[in-house]
Amino acid sequence: MKGHENLVPITERTKDERRKICSNGGIQSGKARRRKKTIKAILSTMMTMRIADIQDAGIRDTFMKAAGSEDGNVTIAEAVAGGMLAQSIRGDSRMVAVLLKLLGEDPELKIKQKEHRLKVKQAQKEEAVTEYKDDGLEKALHESVGKVWEDEETE
């Protein structure tokens, strides 16, 4: 492959080079996590916003048109849910799967839950069938308790 001639595997680098590369990777990973967290917070806040409250007229009009709202008196979350339902009704199978998953009606999840319940029932049946095996401990305990009681009575 072109351009791979000058690449040096990490195993052939010095300890300091490896440390620096790993440090840079950790720093970039932290930046990516913070960026994702910020985007998630922004989206979470926006989902509760009413479309009419959006200050940018172009974005507000685009959202109102997409939501099919004349006054923008719906939240973005409501508009998204409405859009998902509309796509599902039109026959978008991927959207149907997303909706079912959001509602906890995911067929794959249901199958896994059912399999888990069956495994638990099977394990309980196997435990119930397992017979009690006397290893002599119970008899030894009765004898030692009996001796203690006899010793207490003689005192």
Model pLDDT, residue 10? 87
Question: How far is residue 64 from each of residues 42, 67, 71, 76, 97, measured CA to CA in Å?
Answer: 20, 5, 8, 9, 26
pLDDT of residue 107: 76
- The partner residues of 75 in beta bridges, in order of sequence, read 50
Phi-psi region of 104 (alpha: psi -120 to 50; beta: other; left: phi over 0): left
SS3 label, residue 50: strand
Look at residues 10, 37, 36 and name the one whose alpha carbon lies nearest to residue 24: 10
pLDDT tens by residue, 33-72: 999 999 999 999 989 999 999 999 999 999 999 888 888 8
pLDDT 10s digits, 12-39 = 899 999 999 999 999 999 999 999 999 9
pLDDT at site 142: 74
Please say if the pLDDT value at position 90 is more than 90: yes
Q: Is the pTM of this model over 0.95?
A: no
Query: Could you tell me which residues are beta bridge partners of residue 50?
Result: 75
Residue whose pair of structure tokens reads 């906890």 in the numeric block? 104
pLDDT at 4: 75
Q: Are 47 and 81 in contact (CB under 8 A)?
A: no
For residue 136, what pLDDT is reported? 74
For 102-151, what is each residue's pLDDT tens digit?
888 877 878 888 899 999 988 888 777 665 566 777 777 777 776 666 65
What is the C-alpha to C-alpha distance for residues 95 and 151, in angstroms, rounded to an integer?
Answer: 79
pLDDT at 154: 62
Q: 69: buried, middle or exposed (CB in 10 Å: 19+, 13-18, 0-12)?
A: middle
Q: In Å, what is the CA distance from 62 to each residue of 22, 134, 153?
A: 44, 77, 93
